Chains A and B, each alone.
Chain A
Amino acid sequence: MKEEEMASATAESKTVFGFWVYLMTDCVLFASLFATFVVLRNNTYGGPSGQDLFSLSFVLSETIILLVSSFSIGLAWLAAREGNKRPVLSFMALTFLLGLAFLTLEIKEFNHLYQEGNSWRRSGFLSAFFTLVGTHGAHITAGLIWMATMMVLIYRRGIYATNVRRVTMLALFWHFLDVIWIFIFSIVYLMGIIG
């Protein structure tokens, strides 16, 4: 029994470690997009700059929504470790709704920019902007699909070791996306508004 438990703990830490390595390589992907953005951020080709386009209060609400969702997925994970099904489901549902709200705001912003003729084709700055922020948005979308699947799985099958491990990885993924967003908030939006 004891040996079995130890074996399962090792399996868990190995799987989670593998996922951590994936997250770190994802960091490198985002780093290259950030590097591209920072190099191109002043290349507006006569088009609008960040100062003309970004709204401080809009991006603050996006940031707060994502931060709260990062907090609530942490609480869902704690509940999963304790084996409480109901709080896991409710915290995950909360995280899902906040993530969806974030994504809606982002799509709204993209659509607004596109409608006004400031699409990725306008300038180097906007190409880099859409690529960087869009890649983050694609990750959020993937995370939401994963979260919905997890909720159905937990609802139907309950909480067991493999599921806890999956929730652990989902929580890591979601926290990671919030960390990336801090830098998008600071480098793309705040520094864009500063000038």
Chain B
Amino acid sequence: MKFSRLSYATGFVLSLGLTSAAFLLVWRQTNSDSTAFSEKFLITWVIALALAQLFTQLVFFLHLGRERSPRWNLTVLSFAALVVLILVLGSLWIMNNLNYHQANEMTPAETDKYILEDEGIH
């Protein structure tokens, strides 16, 4: 197995580029009068750039994909990724749902009415 300075330098330059891209996207939003991007668009791109940088660093800094089979490092990483996804997405799902079902400062009757109307149930 050969690890070169070139692979580190590649990872470094790519990471720098991805960080700057995410930064500029948000910086442009806060510093320009021209029509801004929508919040949803920005959040999607910031997350996408972060994930791209995660993979960049996994490959070039942590040398994933360089190990010989059986790839136990990759196996443990995949399991951790699964747990992370369940934990984060599950928490968001449950908490947003709870939040929705006890809409702020409404009586239970008002909440019921709100939800029935919101979901088009009559």
Contacts and interface: CB of A to CB of B under 8 A. Distances in A.
A81 B2 CA distance: 11
Interface string A162-195: 0000000000100110110011011100110111
A187 to B, nearest CB: 8
A194 B77 CA distance: 31
Q: How large is the interface on A (under 10, 10 to 19, 20 to 34, 35 or more residues)?
A: 35 or more
A194 B29 CA distance: 8
Interface in A45-59: 56
Interface of A: 17, 20-21, 24-25, 27-28, 31-32, 34-36, 38-39, 56, 60, 63-64, 67-68, 70-71, 74-75, 78, 81, 172, 175-176, 178-179, 182-183, 185-187, 190-191, 193-195
A20 B91 contact: no
A39 B91 contact: yes
A17 B88 contact: no
Nearest to B60: A74
Give the secondary structure class of A's interface. Answer: helix
B61 interface: yes
Interface of B: 3-5, 8-9, 11-12, 15-16, 19, 22-23, 26-27, 29-30, 39, 42-43, 46-47, 49-50, 53-54, 57-58, 61-62, 72-73, 76-77, 79-80, 83-84, 87-88, 90-92, 95
A78 B95 contact: no
22 contacts: A17-B73, A24-B77, A24-B79, A25-B80, A27-B83, A32-B87, A35-B90, A38-B92, A56-B26, A60-B23, A67-B12, A67-B16, A70-B57, A175-B62, A176-B62, A179-B54, A182-B57, A183-B50, A187-B47, A187-B50, A190-B26, A195-B39
